[in-house]
Amino acid sequence: MRRAGVHAGLKVLLPAFHCRAIVEPVLYLGAEPCFYPVRADLRPDFSALSSMIGGDGAPVAAMVLTHYFGFPNDLDEAERFCAAHDIALIEDCAHALYGRAGERLLGTVGSYATASVWKFLPARDGGLLLDNTGGQPAHRSAQPLLAEAKALAAILQGWSRRIWRRSSLPVIEPFALCEQAKHVAAQPMVRASESGLKEFSPKLAEMAALRSSRWIMAHAPHERVATRRRANYLQWLEGMRSVSGVKPIFPHLPEGVVPYAFPLLIDPAGMGFHRIKTAGIPLWRWEDMAVTDCAISRDYRIRLLQLPCHQELREEELAWMIHTVQTLLTAPD
């Protein structure tokens, strides 16, 4: 945002369907977030966007275009729109560490792009910033050695957990239990946020990623990650074909797309979410978002589920999840 010239007195165009992580940096810089409506396929409503430019209000500095769940958004139209109005295009690739839009890599079209390492790889932190304007890399302070040691311990624990999962022995995690107990005991009875920020840490924004995160990014089996995620997504697609009353947001998986999750629209009341969550399946939905006039974002806030297609899911785990979702979403109310 800083590189795009965002500061107090300016506006930033954000999608009405969002997580708060893209809103808080705008607020921190003192700028005004303006939420543009999205269509049913989560592409921007460019006719509405045009009406948000100009007038007597504050000038617009940037537009954020989100590649939801790893699928390319309308890059061509967004590129033309931003060029016509002389505003910076920022690609939100938090769900799109990998992937292409035709012949172009996601993240290389806008003036800037951001991505999340930990959403795809077993890293404890790590964000990527791509500056396509030729700007110089910013200096970032190294994280404390204690933070590095804790992250390494957590990564090793995760690896050992995956090894134990492949055996019939129970998984016992005394290190995690002790750390959790210490954390809970150290918390005050009432927690207050001094900054009012929940997802964005100004302090961490000035720090480099952990060394372990950078190592993982450099040495991860990226081709395997992409292949496994695509295969898992296709299994979800096939499994949901027999379920009436649900609709995948993206019913096709184009070549070059590496999905972050499987987004599925369910019943209007969203009751399926609670059934599935109670069954123990890890899933998410974006409930905590700004109030806007966008009917799609209001609807999807309740109805759009994000089901996992992580590369480390075992075949039997994914089969159980698909069968469970099929059963729960076809059960009578």
Pairwise pLDDT comparison (67 vs 159), residue with the higher score: 67
Domain 222-330 class, CATH top level: alpha beta
Kindly tell me if the per-residue pLDDT of 266 is higher than 50: yes
Rounded to two decimals, the pTM is: 0.84
Residue pLDDT, tens place only, 69-106? 999 999 999 999 999 999 999 999 999 999 998 889 99
Cβ atoms of 92 and 70 closer than 8 Å: no
Look at residue 302 and tell me whether its pLDDT is greater than 70.
yes
51 has a pLDDT exceeding 70: yes
What does residue 281 show for φ and ψ, rounded to 5 degrees? -85, 125
pLDDT at 57: 72
Please, are residues 169 and 86 in contact by the beta-carbon 8 Å criterion?
A: no
* Res 195: pLDDT: 56
Cα–Cα distance list, 70 to 91, 258, 327 (Å): 12, 6, 27
Note whether 12 and 61 are within 8 A (CB): yes
Name the band, by pLDDT with cuts 50, 70 and 90, for residue 155: low
Cα 126 to Cα 91: distance, rounded to the nearest angstrom:
17
The domain ranges of the chain are 11-131, 145-219, 222-330
DSSP code per residue over 169-219: SPP--HHHHHHHHHHHHHS-SS---SS--SS--HHHHTBPPPHHHHHHHHH
Q: Quick one: which H or E segment has residue 61?
A: strand 60-66
Task: Please give the DSSP secondary-structure letter assigned to residue 95.
Answer: T
Residue 173 has pLDDT above 70, yes or no: no
Write down the pLDDT at residue 288. Answer: 85
Question: The domain 11-131: what is its CATH number?
Answer: 3.40.640.10
